[in-house]
Structure 1
Amino acid sequence: MTTLPDKRFLLSHPAHFLALGFGSGLAPKGPGTFGTLAAIPLFGLLLWLPESSHLVTIAALFLLGIPLCGIAGRNLGVSDHGSIVWDEIVAFMLVLEFTPKAWEWWLGAFLLFRLFDIWKPFPIRTLDRRVHGGFGVMLDDLLAAVYAIAILKGWQWWMMQNF
């Protein structure tokens, strides 16, 4: 049975609150986009920590996301329900870690990440269909982040060579 997420569901369990991105996953249109935007202030908090701890923190958030998304998905009755956006939050934080700290680059990073998260090029779509549960929810966004980072790094290299 599928449960429709609402404020009551959001607040009924700490895993729901986090998996639904502090409520950003309740957006009626584009919850993944709102979840991605929710990553920005969290990344701002991460910037207060020593840079050497950033990847460790993001990895810990990824690992935390596996049970969080699993619990929320089971309770919603859909493993990768659209309202579950912890995966977008953590993956976009990873993208921002490798993105120059300028709004133009962050906008490009946002657009690239959303493109790959929605498009799901090979092997993302295949894995999305085959890997389920909390790990599957987290994995496809991690791969979308890798694609976005690769394009951003290529773009940076090209800019350095040509300007």
Structure 2
Amino acid sequence: MTSIIATFLGIGHLRPAPGTWASLVTTILAVLAYQAGLALLVPLAFVAATVAGFVTVPRYLAGRADRDPSEVVIDEVAGQLLALCFTILPLWNHGAALGFVSGAWPGWVAPFVLFRLFDIWKPWLVGRADRRHDAAGVMLDDLWAGLFAGIVSVVLAGLYHAVLQPWLG
């Protein structure tokens, strides 16, 4: 069970870029939940993935030399869900449509792209957590990346709605 959770049902074994695959699947599931009227599942799934990660990652890493194996992607799932909460919850609160092609598609594209950017680039606190080289660091770097991605997504949405949209007409 530990391996199933740590690898997010085996998605962590997909190549190349298992973290990107996990983030993409997570984003698709979040959008589908939103479209099914279950937007509040996204923050609940974030909490569940975070708790599951903090419980299973240390068990998965026990006795392994690699302290952050690429197949462990529950951390990407938790971080991506956190990033998505910043846009999905306000969209749900306003009754906005969220779709893959139409509707408020930037509400999932921006958090996805920004999360992957921060997770790969590892600026500031993201990199600091990653350099811990322990199970907590595996989880924390993605949670920081998700937090930063969510905040930047909200800032970009605010700039669009306050500055660009009125200017564009």
TM-score range, shorter chain: 0.7 to 0.9
Q: Is the 8 A contact 2:83 2:146 kept in 1?
A: yes
CA deviations 1:65-118 (Å, max 9, x no partner) are: 112112222265322111100111121112112225332332222111100000
The 1-side partners of 2:33 and 2:65 are apart by: 33
**TM superposition score normalised by structure 1:** 0.79
1:66-145 matched pairs, under 5 angstroms:
66-74=54-62, 76-99=64-87, 100=91, 101=98, 102-130=104-132, 132-133=134-135, 135-145=136-146
Residue identity in the other structure for 1:145: G
Q: Answer whether contact 2:86 2:151 (CA < 8 A) is retained.
A: no
Q: 2:95 maps to what in 1?
A: none
Q: What code does the residue aligned with 1:91 have? A: G
Provide structure 2 residue ranges, at least 5 long, that are not aligned to the other structure: 92-97, 99-103
Where in structure 1 are there 5+ consecutive unaligned residues? Answer: 1-13
TM-score by length of 2: 0.77
Contact 1:95 1:109 (C-alpha < 8 Å) held by counterparts:
yes
Corresponding residue for 1:10?
none
User: Does structure 1 conserve the Cα–Cα contact (< 8 Å) formed by 2:111 and 2:149?
Assistant: yes
CA distance in 2 between counterparts of 1:50 and 1:148 reads 19
Cα deviations across residues 118-153 of structure 1 (Å, max 9, x unaligned)? 0000021122112612x2211100000111011111
Count of residues in correspondence between the two structures? 148
For the aligned residue pairs, the C-alpha RMSD in angstroms reads 2.1
